[in-house]
């Protein structure tokens, strides 16, 4: 298992439930029960995802013993965004090439 922060961040994002949890918390803090509500999942299963996200530094838990809301901490996402953004030129070129290829093919079909 890789342990560098960037790998931990990307691994945390490699699951649709965890991404949905982050999207929910982006709207505001929520209790574990509130987070779990929209998922067809047991509470322990959701808790496991929350622990992984907390370990990755993407969420924090409030200190109030009675009511420990989960809160988004998006800071680790900055490095993830910076890493991916370096390839923008490459994907833009790839899409452009695909576009040109399709245009050529359509032109040939018409002729």
Residues in contact with a second copy by the rule CB under 8 A: 2, 4, 6-8, 10-11, 13-16, 19, 22, 26, 72-75, 77-78, 80-81, 83-88, 90-91, 94-95
Query: Under 8 Å CB-to-CB from 59, ≥6 apart: which residues?
Result: 21, 22, 25, 50, 53, 70, 71, 72, 73
Inter-residue contact 51 to 19 (CB < 8 Å): no
Closest CB to a second copy among 85 and 111? 85
Closest CB to a second copy among 11 and 32? 11
SS3 state at 11:
helix
CA atoms within 13 A on the CB side of 64: 9
> Shortest distance, CB of residue 23 to a second copy, whole angstroms?
8
Encoded tokens for 102 = 């399709």
Closest CB to a second copy among 36 and 72? 72
> Shortest distance, CB of residue 51 to a second copy, whole angstroms?
17
> Shortest distance, CB of residue 110 to a second copy, whole angstroms?
27
């Amino acid at each position: 298992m890789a342990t560098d922060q960037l790998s931990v961040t990307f691994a945390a994002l490699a699951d649709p439930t965890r991404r949905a949890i982050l999207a929910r918390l982006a709207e505001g803090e929520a209790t574990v029960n509130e987070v779990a509500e929209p998922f067809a999942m047991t509470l322990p299963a959701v808790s496991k995802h929350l622990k992984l996200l907390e370990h990755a530094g993407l969420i924090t838990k409030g200190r109030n013993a009675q009511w420990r809301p989960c809160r988004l901490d998006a800071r680790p996402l900055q490095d993830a965004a910076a890493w991916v953004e370096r390839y923008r030129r490459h994907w833009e070129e790839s899409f452009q090439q695909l576009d040109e290829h399709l245009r050529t093919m359509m032109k040939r079909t018409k002729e």
